[in-house]
Amino acid sequence: MNLAQFGWNPFFEAHFSEYSAAGFMPARICSEHKQQYQVYTESGEYPAEVSGKMLYLADSRSDFPAVGDWVAVNSPENGGLAIIHAILPRKSCFSRKMASGRDRRSGGRPEEQVLAANVDTVFLVSGLDREFNLRRIERYLTLVYNSGATPVIVLNKADVCDDWEYCVAEVKAIAFDAPIHPISAKTQNGLDALRNYLQPGKTAALLGSSGVGKSTIMNALLGYERQRVQVVSAQVGKGQHTTTERELIPVPTGGLLIDTPGMRELQLWSSEENLKGSFEDIETLAVRCRFADCQHESEPGCAVRAAVETGELDASRLQSYRKLTQEVAYLEQRQDSSADYLERKKWKQIAKWQREYSRISLKR
């Protein structure tokens, strides 16, 4: 197998030299299920698992490989398991805060969930039916800008929208330079525009909530039915989760696709700095505020609120910005608290080992 077709390039090769000297070979994670992996290597595709050392040193879920990662593995013998010993630096990585149910089981501490790594282009899919939601697109844009990948907005189901041009104009007002492609995966109209991004060695990911047509788009781009398609509920206008695992899939015409499970609960894993990419209009206006730390609430001389009053800026846009800013600030505070907790826990464990060692020494 030619690793270049799976995205191997000089960036990863430069970081692999130390592992090559140790006798390991490069591999890319193509699927993951409960820390059981499949990897692509030069000699073929193999099942894989992390080494005992890697398992022991991992502090959180984000320390484990994700789909799209390049890793260093040993050469599997007689069709056995490949053992993953290290993760190479990532060119891009998009993450979210782990779903709230799992967060509670971790004692209320926020935990990062890496959705995919080393993605070049993210197809941010939204439906042009009842699922069309500008505020949700803003959240996804924030997630993608934070990843280091390039967002491409895909507005699916143009065949059922009477005025899709108006929807495109609305998205353009919040998307700035991100390309926007109205398509119909059902009729395969507009899909050629997406195929242009799938160049050999390039990786794209499909991201969007359930029912927007990601699996239909996936099947159309692959040229065969890889993912089962669910019918969207006519009562609530929402789809069911079709994809249950993230998977890296080669496209016959070139490039690779990562499909991700639909996410109804998208909680950001970001920083306030990363909001600037998806709210350039507000950040540009904020430069003209009288106070550098203006919160755009009730401060005098606020250029952002003035723009809302004159109609230059939509009030719902500012409300969304405030909500995301508060959410990110809260997450950063909890992340700091979590780091303090882990540090205290580490030293408490060290003190316990020292007491145990002293007790054993005295017995001798």
Binding residues are 156-159, 208-216, 289, 294, 296, 302
- Taking the domains of the chain in order of start, what are their residue ranges? 3-89, 119-263, 271-364
> Which segment of 1-15, 56-70, 262-276 scores lowest on mean pLDDT?
262-276
Assign 191 a pLDDT band (cuts: 50, 70, 90).
very high
* 119-263 to CATH, choices 1.10.3720.10, 3.40.50.300, 3.90.470.20, 3.30.70.260: 3.40.50.300
Binding residues for Zn(2+): 289, 294, 296, 302
What's the topology of domain 3-89? OB fold (Dihydrolipoamide Acetyltransferase, E2P) (2.40.50)
What are the pLDDT digits (tens) for 16-65? 999 999 999 999 999 988 778 999 999 889 999 999 999 888 877 778 99
Q: How many CA atoms lie within 13 A of 131 on its CB side?
A: 27
- Per DSSP, the three-state class of 52 is helix
Please report, in range form, the residues annotated as the binding site for GTP: 156-159, 208-216
Strand ranges for the chain from DSSP E: 25-33, 36-41, 44-50, 70-73, 82-87, 93-97, 112-117, 121-127, 150-156, 180-182, 203-207, 247-250, 256-259, 267-268
Q: What is the pLDDT of residue 337?
A: 46
DSSP three-state, residue 204: strand
Note whether 251 and 222 are within 8 A (CB): yes
Q: Is the Cβ–Cβ distance between 204 and 197 less than 8 Å?
A: yes
Distance, in Å, from the CA atom of 290 to the CA atom of 304, rounded to the nearest integer, reads 11
Query: Which two structure tokens, joined as six digits, stand for 188?
Result: 């395969």
* Rounded Cα distance, 241 and 299, in Å: 45
Mean pLDDT computed over 257-285? 64
- pLDDT tens digits, one per residue of 102-130: 444 445 556 777 888 999 999 999 999 88
**Residue 281 belongs to what H/E stretch?**
helix 280-286
Domain 271-364 architecture: Orthogonal Bundle (1.10)
Residue 150 has pLDDT above 70, yes or no: yes
Q: What is the pLDDT of residue 27?
A: 96
pLDDT at 360 over 80: no
Closest CA to 119 of 88, 142, 151: 151
Residue 279: which of 320, 331, 311 has the closest Cα?
320
Burial 315-353 (b: 16+ CB within 10 A, else e): eebbebbeebbebbeebeeebeebeeeeeeeeeeeeeee
DSSP code per residue over 315-332: HHHHHHHHHHHHHHHHHH
Task: Report the alpha-carbon angle 65-104-352, nearest 5.
Answer: 75
Q: Largest alpha-carbon pair distance within the chain? A: 85
Angle made by CA atoms 310, 314, 319, in degrees to the nearest 5: 120
Instruction: Judge whether residue 268 has pLDDT over 60.
Output: no
Alpha helices, H only, 197-274: 214-222
Q: Does residue 265 carry a pLDDT above 50?
A: no
- Among 243, 325, 220, which Cα is nearest to 276's? 325
Q: CA-CA distance, 63 to 65, in Å (whole number)? A: 7
CA dihedral 139, 144, 148, 149 (to 10 degrees): -160
Mean pLDDT rounded to a whole number for the chain: 80
